[in-house]
């Protein structure tokens, strides 16, 4: 995930330099995904109450996509806000 994404700006594709479609802003930063499968993976990770021993954590040098999520997205206190942001992204697809 070597994407240009700032806390204060939208995410852009690193190769093409275009803004990603699946993203929305929260008070902590941007929630973005490459496709619906990626967005669903983030949703399942954030929704999980207990993440211990779940296959999305790969211990060692290689880290998975969800292990590299920003700390604010992984914190339980922000769970509802992140899930609402993901719902906004899904709703924007229905309007399009």
Residue 25 neighbours by CB under 8 Å, 6+ apart? 10, 31, 85
Q: Which residues pair with 30 in a beta bridge?
A: 25
30-78 pLDDT, tens digit each: 999 989 999 999 999 999 887 765 455 555 555 677 778 888 999 999 9
Q: Using the predicted structure, report yes or no on whether residue 5 has a pLDDT greater than 50.
A: no
DSSP 23-77: EEE-SS-EEEESSHHHHHHHHHHHH-S--TT-TT---SSS--TGGGS-HHHHSGG
- Token pair, residue 32, equals 């973005």
Q: Using the predicted structure, report yes or no on whether residue 87 has a pLDDT greater than 90.
A: yes
User: Which pTM does this prediction carry?
Assistant: 0.76
User: Could you tell me the pLDDT band of residue 20, with boundaries at 50, 70 and 90?
Assistant: confident
Spatial distance between the Cα atoms of 96 and 78, rounded to a whole number of angstroms:
28
């Amino acid at each position: 995930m070597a994407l240009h994404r700032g806390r204060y700006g939208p995410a852009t594709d690193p190769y093409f330099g275009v803004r990603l479609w699946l993203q929305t802003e929260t008070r902590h930063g941007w929630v973005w995904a490459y496709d619906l499968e990626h967005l669903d993976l983030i949703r399942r990770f954030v929704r999980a109450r207990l993440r211990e021993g779940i296959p999305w954590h790969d211990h060692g040098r290689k880290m998975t996509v969800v292990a590299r999520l920003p700390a604010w997205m992984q914190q339980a206190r922000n769970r509802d806000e992140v899930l609402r942001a993901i719902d906004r992204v899904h709703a924007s697809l229905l309007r399009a």
